[in-house]
Amino acid sequence: MTLILASRSSARRQMLQAAGVEVSLDPADLDEGAFKGRLLSEGATAAAVAEALAGQKALTVSSRRPGALVLGSDQTLELDGTLYDKAASLDEARARLGQFSGRTHRLHSGAALACDGQLVWSVCDTAELTVRSLSRTYIDAYVATNAEAALSAVGGYWLEGEGVQLFERIEGDYFTILGLPLLPLLAELRGRGVMVS
- Those residues whose C-beta lies under 8 Å from the C-beta of residue 171, and which sit 6 or more positions away, are 127, 128, 129
* 109: three-class secondary structure by DSSP: strand
Q: Quick one: which of 21, 36, 138 has its CA closest to 69?
A: 21
- Those residues whose C-beta lies under 8 Å from the C-beta of residue 122, and which sit 6 or more positions away, are 51, 54, 55, 110, 111, 112, 113
Q: Which of these is catalytic: 26, 74, 91, 173? A: 74
Q: Quick one: which of 166, 35, 164 has its CA closest to 110?
A: 35
Spatial contact of 181 and 109, defined as CB atoms under 8 Å apart: yes
- Helix ranges (DSSP H) in the chain: 10-18, 32-41, 46-62, 90-100, 136-145, 147-152, 174-178, 182-191
Q: Assess whether 74 carries a catalytic annotation.
A: yes
Give me the numbers of helices (H) and strands (E) for the chain, helices first please. Answer: 8, 7
Q: Quick one: which of 147, 122, 160 has its CA closest to 11?
A: 160
* Active site residues per annotation: 74
